[in-house]
Amino acid sequence: MLGGYVIVTVSFLYLSILFAIAYYGDRRADQGRSIIASPYIFALSIAVYATAWTFYGSVGRAASSGVSFLPIYLGPTLTFILGWFLIRKIIRISKVNRITSIADFVASRYGKSSFLGGLVTIIAVVGIMPYISLQLKAISTSFAVLQHYPDIVMPAKLGSTPVLQDTALYVAVIMAAFAILFGTRHIDASERHEGMVAAIAFESVVKLFAFLAVGLFVTFGIYGGFGEVFSRAATDPALARLFTLEAAGGYTSWISLTLVSMAAIVLLPRQFQVLVVENVDERHIKKAIWLFPVYMLLINIFVLPIAFGGLLHFPGNTVDTDTFVLTVPMAEHFWTIALFAFIGGLSAATGMIIVETIALATMVSNDLVMPLLLHFGRLHLSERKDLSGLMLAIRRSAIIFVILLGYAYVRLIGESYALVSIGLMSFVAAAQFAPAILGGILWKGATRLGAMAGMSAGFLVWIYTLLLPSFARSGWISESFVQDGPWGLALFSPYALLGLSGLDPIAHALFWTMVINIGLYAAVSLMTTQTMIERSQAVQFVDIFKQPSEGARIWRGRATIGDLRRLSNRFIGETLTDQAFQRFERDRERRLDDAHAADADIVHYAERQLAGAIGAASARIMIASVLREEMHDIDEVMQILDEASQLVVYSRQLEEKSQQLEAATAELRAANERLKELDKMKDDFVSTISHEFRTPLTSIRSFSEIVHDNPDIPVEQRKMFLGTIVQETERLTRLVNDILDLAKMQAGQTDWQLARIEPRKVIDNALAATAGLFAKNPRIKLECRVAEDLPRILVDADRITQVLVNLISNAVKFCDKDNGLITIVGRAEEAGSVLISVHDNGVGIAREDHKKIFERFRQAGDTLIGKPQGTGLGLPISLHILERFGGTIWVESELGKGATFFVRIPSAASSAELSHPATAAREVT
């Protein structure tokens, strides 16, 4: 007899090898020498798809229904061969956005919704729970069978074995320890678990060689090759039926299993983890396209010979077909082959459990627990300076919870199903993510509410058609629920819903879940509108290959770099925060000062670091919390921009907003004593603003109608029209921002943060903010000549940057579009001031109009009316800002020779002479 102590010892030695490989992989990663930066390791890690289901269950399924096991492996092969570009797109999106899990991916796509991330997590945990139980069941059963060697004894039901004597329990504990040691060493979940990946790749090799060893032994050791095995099976009346497609479930079963497995290879949490999160280089997908299908072929080539060999050895169903990989070598007294097969099955099961629990624990921590703590536990969390320890504890507790949940399922329910049946339940659950993810990377119009409605409904149908029947088969609920439907309503039978009968349970459940999921996803998305952040994320995801690697975003918040550093310290610790900020300084070649205001670049970077630790949705909440007051100030702007971006349908709403803005402006000046002048100011302003809104709205409406009514427009022309729509929408955005800025200045609501600033830094910031304009107009060249010895100026950095942004934007707008040239010059004057000029080579301005323009500008800055047509409100705001700092602005131009706008700003020393610094700052604010 092959004693249990021998099996335990060999298993312990094997698991020790895995620990050693994982430890070595992590040590090499810490030293900056990765051992997984190889397409071969990448492909082998993806082979975690081949679990105990593959090792044992495929043979069991083949023994009962012939070639019906093939679609489970045909689907992933088709995905890699036909859909590799979608996989590459998902990988690129995840790297740019520091995606940590499939829940994080869905939440990020649909407006970084924490609620949606939590929904995906719940579906994943409940849906994958049977799959984890499958692995524990396989290990426990195979151990019980092997320890009786040379006798072949089928084990008792798992539920009847005392808990402390249950092998599955101890395997669960060991797997939890492995996952905790090598899956939660760092809080940053977007860091690759290189040791774990190396161990999984090694396990893939072991299980492949183990299965090939059994296959070769059965095919060529017991029989004379494939020909003899198949011929003997074909001549056996009891086995001949396995060669027909009817035995495999027919065409419907094949199609449904192929489709569900095509989705599972990407959407199962463990597959998303190794395929996307752990990916080192997206170029590795090129080799994985053929390496992974080759692996699938090799591990399945002997499935039928082993199944037929087992049926010929054990006629009359005396042995569980799922154990043929073990029992056939045992019957021939080859204990070494049987023990090697056990180790192969152990590899297949443990690899799945480790990766799956790490993936699920990350989801539970980032997308379920953290959002709840941030929402309900803010008072408690605010008292803790360092939350990294708490987050690690949450993640480790989640690993234990998930594994024990799987163990509970296998003891209570798992004995009622064959291995493959349990796995297919989880496949259908994972398929519920397919519409939201595929739609999210291909369709910009998909909305958060659509994804939520589709997944929720699909999951409920999955529970009704698959999970509840498993409870019935286990005796937890009445069997009549499956046979006759609830309360005897046969129309609602979970296996024949609404009278749809004749399908196997998996095909039936897949049909109804997808019909309802996809239907609601599309219908609700078409009937609902996107928020601004949803629309922004949709563009980033769908057009990821058109986006810069770091992405870009609009930023109007007011926080210091120190605020961001302290926030990061709380969640990822000081060491990782310092490393991240140092990496930012090195990559951007800039120095970070904690006292300086944070710009869009560093805010976006800090949010991405937090996303790697707590998920995109929670990271967005925390970043917003640092800037809550500023975000509150621009709620109305965000609301207007949301509507402005909806093209024709919302153009009417934009007009209504403009009317509200006009009314608000009139109310702002209601206390003005000059009533008659107030009426004139109001009328002029209404006329001006209405004109400014009407022009872009007309363009948006016209081009949108052309695109909508003429679906056959050539692609290039359609792109041109859409580009015009986007430009006009951006123009509306700038106009609204300018109006609100000017209104805030007049109402005295603007905070002026004075600091001694180098003029070169102001010019650099303005050029960075307007870089997109030059990218859209590649024919416009830029020359910048700034003296090195410019004195510092005492200004508000954001406001003075806004002045230069307005001047550069106007220069781009009016310069020669075919051969444009914009020249920026900065020099010091003898009087101690700084002179900055912005020149364009456009049509210019008549000399007699120079004085009139700035008189109108001043009037606009003082009274919000009288803006020269076509110039926008940027220049009036600029004049108003400069005068607050003791500066001025003027223009020099001739028709046909372009225009040059000059900005004069007193140096910091000159400003200090005007007043004591403290007094000056107080007067300005």
For 80-97, the pLDDT digits (tens) are: 999 989 999 999 998 888
pLDDT for residue 275: 93
* Bridge partners (DSSP) listed for residue 395: none
> Helices 250-267 and 71-82 meet at what angle, rounded to 10?
50
Q: Give the three-class secondary structure for 521.
A: helix
d(CA 699, CA 697): 5
Look-up of token digits 């595929």: 438
Look-up of token digits 């870089």: 771
**Cβ(568)–Cβ(609) below 8 Å:** yes
What would the DSSP string read from start to end of 836-851? EEEEE-SS---GGGHH
pLDDT for residue 576: 72
Q: Are strands 888-893 and 899-906 parallel, antiparallel or unpaired?
A: antiparallel
d(CA 793, CA 220): 87
- Which among 208, 221, 215, 415 is positioned nearest to 307, based on CA atoms? 215
Q: Which two tokens stand for residue 167?
A: 């092998």
Look-up of token digits 């997944």: 455
Cis amide leading into 315 (omega within 30): no
Q: Which residues contact residue 850 at a Cβ distance below 8 angstroms, ignoring those fewer than 6 apart?
A: 890, 891, 892, 893
- Which among 660, 921, 896 is positioned nearest to 796, based on CA atoms? 921
What would the DSSP string read from start to end of 725-746? HHHHHHHHHHHHHHHHHHHHHH
Q: Which residues contact residue 573 at a Cβ distance below 8 angstroms, ignoring those fewer than 6 apart?
A: 187, 386, 388
What would the DSSP string read from start to end of 653-704? HHHHHHHHHHHHHHHHTTT-S-HHHHHHHHHHHHHHHHHHHHHHHHHHHHHH
Q: Give the three-class secondary structure for 897.
A: coil
Phi-psi group of 754: left, alpha or beta (phi > 0 → left; psi -120 to 50 → alpha; rest → beta): beta
Helix, strand, coil in percent for the chain, rounding step 5: 70, 5, 25
- Residue range 745-777, pLDDT digits in tens: 555 545 667 788 888 888 888 888 787 777 777
CB atoms within 10 A of CB 424: 30
H-type helices in 492-634, by residue range?
505-527, 532-542, 561-588, 600-614, 616-626, 628-633
**Cβ(706)–Cβ(719) below 8 Å:** no
Rg (the chain; Cα; Å) = 34
d(CA 705, CA 701): 6
Residue 558 DSSP label? -
Q: Which two tokens stand for residue 873?
A: 């409100």
Q: Which two tokens stand for residue 234?
A: 């074909």
d(CA 684, CA 692): 12
Burial of 789 by CB count in 10 Å (0-12 exposed, 13-18 middle, 19+ buried)?
A: exposed
Residues of the chain with pLDDT under 50: 188-190, 379, 418-419, 549-556, 628-651, 671, 678, 681, 749, 859-871, 913-925
Burial of 143 by CB count in 10 Å (0-12 exposed, 13-18 middle, 19+ buried)?
A: buried
